[in-house]
Structures are given as C-alpha cells and as structure tokens.
Chain A
Amino acid sequence: MPVFTRTTKNLIIKIDEFFDDIDLGLLVFREGIKAYLDKDIDAFHRHLQKVDNLESNADRLQREIENEMITHSILPQHRSEVSTLIDELDEIIDALKSSLNEINIEMPDIPSSLNKNLISLTETSINAAEELIPAARAYFKAPYTVREKLLKVYYFESETDKLSFSTKKIIFQEMNELDLAHKAHLRYIIHHIENISDLAQKAADLLSGMAIKIVM
C-alpha cells in the first residue's frame, strides 16, 4: 500500500531538492553577474561551473520525479500540471546556465557606468524568480497561500521590464560613444537577464491556475 512504501517520502525529498537547486542557481547567477561586472573572471568561472552542476542535477531530478509519478501512479489528476511546472522551473535554470555561457563566450564589454543599472536589473529579475520558489513549495503544502506569494513575482517582473527599458534607453540615446554593434550586443545581454523574470512570470501564471484548481 502506498502509505507503507518509501516512494512518497523519496519523491517529496526529490521535489524539495529540485526547488533547492533552482533557488541556489538563482543565487549563484546573481553572484556570477556581479563577479563579471567586477572583472573577477576566476570567480565568474567558478559560478558558471556551479550553475552548470546545479542544472545537470535539476535535469536528473526532473526526470526521476516524472518517472516516479508515472510508475507509482502518484498525483494522477495533477500529474501533468506538476510535470509542466517542474518543466517551467527547469527552463529557468537552463536560462541561467545559457546566459552565463553566452557571457563567457562573448565576453561583452560592459561600460562601468552601466554596472549599477545592470546589477539592479539582475537583482530585480532574479528576485522575481526567487519569489516563485516559495509559491511553488506552497502549492504542495498550503495551496491557499500560493496566489498571495505570486503577487511579488508579478511585481518584480514589471519592475524588471521598467529597468530593462530605462537601461536600453540609456545605451541607445545617451551613450553616443558606443558604436551600433556594441549597443546591440549590450541589448542582447540585457534581454538574457530580463528573460529570467519573463520565465518566472510564465511559471507563475501556470502555478496560479493550478492553485485555484486544487483549492476548489
């Protein structure tokens, strides 16, 4: 009988571990961007390696969680939604890894006058994704609280949009010393950072619907 097996306990541990990986990935990404802006390339590489490991582990956990849910017929009515949520969260850590990799390959030349704006943009975008994790955890334990937790995700996502807009405006309208290719490259980096909060919002939309369904 399900109550006497360890499957349930193992699955709960794996889901928690998956959320931990995403949470930690966001933290390391923030530090990685700061290290790059501070021109501390060794620290940046260390953070990149850490995100890479976390992403691999998250992939493994995602596969195991989905397998166990199907094999042991766990959460039959919510299985596809939970799988989609985990998939959406995995996309966030995938985006963190690919963004750091792009920076590592392209080594964009970021003017120091933009450091403050980029740090602020990274903080806000990462905050949006960080606020998603407690909401996702709450779905499993207290679905009533999910929607109030998601409010912060939407707030930070809209703040990210504003910051991204103002930073791009500075680059294209005020920094006349930069050539167009350089400006386009910086915009590309901003898009990468901004994308994290967009992915968080997408997952928040899904989670919001899931919470309503489970509470009803």
Chain B
Amino acid sequence: MILFFLTSGLFLGWSLGANDASHIFGSAVGSKMVTFRKAAIIASVFFILGAVIQGSGTSHTLGKLGAINAIGGSFTLALAAAITIYMMTKFALPISTTQAIVGAIIGWNFFTGNHTDSTTLEKIVISWIAGPIIGAVFAVLLYIVVKKFKNSARIHLIRFESYIKTGLIVVGAFGAYSLGANNIANVMGVFVPAFHLKDLDLWIFTLNSSQQLLLIGGLAVASGIITYSWKVMETIGSNILELSSEAALVVVLAQSLVLFIFSSTGLSNLIVKTGLPPIPMVPVSSSQVIVGCILGIGLYKGARNINFKILGEIGLGWIISPVASGLLTFFLLFFMKNIFGINVGSKVESISNSEQTNNLSMYGQNDVSGIIKYFLLGLLIFGTIGMVFYVLLENKKRREMQRSEEKFWKNMK
C-alpha cells in the first residue's frame, strides 16, 4: 500500500525529468554541441547524486508552506501536480515543477483548512521573479566575458568549440547536481515527513529514510530525462532563440549559478558574515531561470531574433500551472476523501492523524528498504552489463569505419 502511495511521487519525478531537468542540457542539445544520449546520461547521474547528497535542505521550505500530515494527502497532491506537468509537457510548454507543487500545497491547505504561510509563499514567489532576472544578468555578463576572451585570445575556432563542448559537459554536470539538490524537494518533499524507513546499509555507505526517498525520486527523474525530455530540450534550445555554442555554454552556466546560489547554505552563511541579509533557500523554478538567461542574451544581441510567440506561451504556462494544479488538487482530495474514504490529512493541530500516519509508515518500512536494496543491486548489474555492451558496440563500429576508409583510399590509389 505504501509503495502504491509513492507512485504519484514517482510520476511527478518522471514529469520533472521530462521538463525541468532538460533545461540543464537543453541549450547544449538544441545547439547540437552535445548529443542527447550523452546529455541524458550525465544529467541523470548528477541529478541523482545532487538529490541524495544535498537534497534534503530545500524540502524544509516546502514543509513550512504546508505540512502534509497524511500519506493519502501526499499521494493526491503529487498526483495533481504530476498530471498538470504532464499535460503541459504534452503541449511542449516548459513549466516549473516548483509552481505545480506550490499550487498543489496551497490547494491542500485550502481543502484541509490549514493556514498558508504567507512569508514562505512570498519568498517563493519572489524567487520566481528574481530567478530569471538574476539569470538574465549573469547570462549577459558571462556572454560579454566569453566573447571578449574569444576575440582577444585568437584561439582556433575548432579548439574554441572543443573547449565549449567540454565546458558544456562540465557545467551541465554541475547544473544537474544543483538541480537535484534544489528541486528534488518538489518531488519527494511532501513524502519525507510521512515516511520513516529503516536505514539502508549499502556496504560502502548508509542511506537514511529521507535519502532513500530522494534516491527513489532521483531514479524517477532519471527515467523522465531518458524517456521524454528530448521534446522540451528542442523547445528550449532551438525555438526561442537560435543559440551559438558560446551562448549555449553561458546559458547553462548562468542557470547553474542561480540554482547554486538558491541552494547553497555555505554561500548564504558567507554573505551573512559580510553583514548582508541571507539568501533564502528556496526551490527555484529552473524553467523561468533558463528563459531569463536566453532572453537576456537575446536582448543583448538586439532582440531581433527572439521568438516572442513562444515566450508568450511559456508565460501563459507559468500562470496556468499553479492555478490548474491547485484546483486539481482540491477536487482530487475531495474525491479521495469522500468517495474512496482515504485520509488525506487535516488541520496540523490534530495529533491522532499524525500518529496514524507514522503507524502506517512503520508497518511497511522493512519491505520498502528491502525492495530498494535489491532494486539498486539489479540496477548496478544491468548498468554494468549495458555499459560493457555499449563500449564493445562502439569499438566494433569504429573498427568497421576505419576498415572501410582504408579500403576506399586503397582503391583510389
């Protein structure tokens, strides 16, 4: 039963992979500097690492917005957010999981009669506005620096492109890590307080309850990246503005920096030490940041070649997604509670429901941990076999091509 409740979170993770994670490599793939296959593998691996190592921080902010106190409630609002994102993805509109999940949490607050913390909401909404603006400023500054460097260093175009290509992979990996740390809370944040799993010993290291959930979420995101992110990558990379290779690097770097700023407690502490106010640890909407970055470069270049129609569609998506997600959550919660009789949560003061939740989660903890352990083992074995097979196949292809070339030139002589 517990695993069934988790499925909506996995679906949400898949949607996040198809949408938000694609923003990291969208410009690189759109400008054809990095192949989709390479981008998908790097984004998946680093997203999972970011989620497991550093992902529990930002879930705190969402917890403050609405403390979901029943697994049924977590399931329903994750499902509502996932359906919203899936529908938007169907129309190839880049939307933010943050907005969908925030809309869903507010919908849950309305349904259960809980108060929505206006300060936290304000912080999140400000980040929605500040994210793309900071992204645009970073993108323009970095673009100027890269252009100046390119012109003054007189590097051969092919060598410069190879640096850019390497940069795109390195920065993309950093961006995927930051996105995992920042946005995994959107997928699994609503489940973390409701689940209490046994620690999982993986011989080299041990994963606690929340890390196990974040790992499952990360794997769901990875499946979304691999199976469905291609369409969104094409929209981001090619349709808004024709991106040059250096612009593609700048966009990814600016976006990664914005994500890093909003998820690094170390940087925030450093800023506090200098006497400035702390940076809020808020899950940032990567969709808005990437559009801000691309728009910034477009405006710097003269705004002649920006596809404003697509920008308008994206803007419409930003308004529709939280509203649609909130309304859908409200109606789904109504059906879950009144037709299926599932406890979807109540006012935070109620203690009996929390106890009920804990009992339910304790009941299934051994099963879930065991399944995760065997699943990871299977994944490791299949991954290794797949990698060896891939390397052998690539080598065979290269040898055949070399043979064909040699034959061609021999015949030419």
Contact = CB atoms under 8 A, between A and B. Distances in A.
B162 interface: yes
Given A2-B165, A3-B163, A75 B401 contact: no
A152 to B, nearest CB: 21
A15 B245 contact: no
Contacts of A144: 151
A60 B409 CA distance: 8
B90 interface: no
Interface string B151-168: 100111111011101100
A78 B164 CA distance: 14
Given A1-B166, A3-B163, A77 B158 contact: no
Contacts of A141: 154-157
Given A1-B169, A60-B409, A77-B244, A8 B35 contact: no
Interface in A1-38: 1-4, 8, 11-12, 15
Nearest to A137: B156
A40 to B, nearest CB: 30
Contact of A76 (B31, B169, B401, B412): B31
A2 B162 contact: yes
A142 interface: yes
B154 A76 contact: no
B406 interface: no
Given A1-B169, A77-B31, A8 B159 contact: yes
A71 interface: yes
A165 interface: no
B60 interface: no
A120 interface: no
B399 interface: no
A139 interface: yes
A140 interface: yes
A119 interface: no
Contacts of A77: 31-32, 244-245
Contacts of A3: 162-163, 165-166
B396 interface: no
Given A139-B157, A140-B156, A74 B162 contact: yes
Nearest to B147: A215
Interface string A58-85: 0010000001000101111110000000
A75 B157 contact: yes
Contact of A2 (B166, B301, B405): B166
B159 A12 contact: yes
A11 B155 CA distance: 14
Interface in A158-216: 214, 216
A78 B242 CA distance: 13
Interface in B251-272: none
Contacts of B162: 2-3, 8, 74
A140 B401 contact: no
Contact of A8 (B154, B158, B401, B409): B158
B33 interface: yes
A142 B405 CA distance: 33
B237 to A, nearest CB: 11
A76 B245 CA distance: 9
Contacts of A60: 409, 412
Given A1-B166, A67-B405, A74 B161 contact: yes
A144 B148 CA distance: 12
Given A2-B166, A60-B409, A216-B301, A73 B158 contact: no
B32 A73 contact: yes
Contacts of B157: 75, 78, 139-141, 143, 214
Contacts of A67: 405
A15 B301 contact: no
B35 to A, nearest CB: 7
29 contacts: A2-B162, A2-B165, A2-B166, A3-B165, A3-B166, A4-B166, A8-B158, A8-B159, A8-B162, A12-B156, A12-B158, A12-B159, A60-B412, A67-B405, A73-B33, A74-B161, A74-B162, A75-B157, A76-B31, A77-B32, A77-B244, A77-B245, A139-B157, A140-B156, A140-B157, A141-B154, A141-B155, A143-B157, A216-B301
Given A8-B158, A140-B156, A214-B157, 13 more contacts: A1-B165, A2-B162, A4-B166, A8-B159, A12-B158, A73-B33, A75-B157, A75-B161, A76-B32, A76-B33, A77-B244, A141-B157, A216-B301
Interface of B: 31-33, 35, 151, 154-159, 161-163, 165-166, 169, 244-245, 301, 401, 405, 409, 412
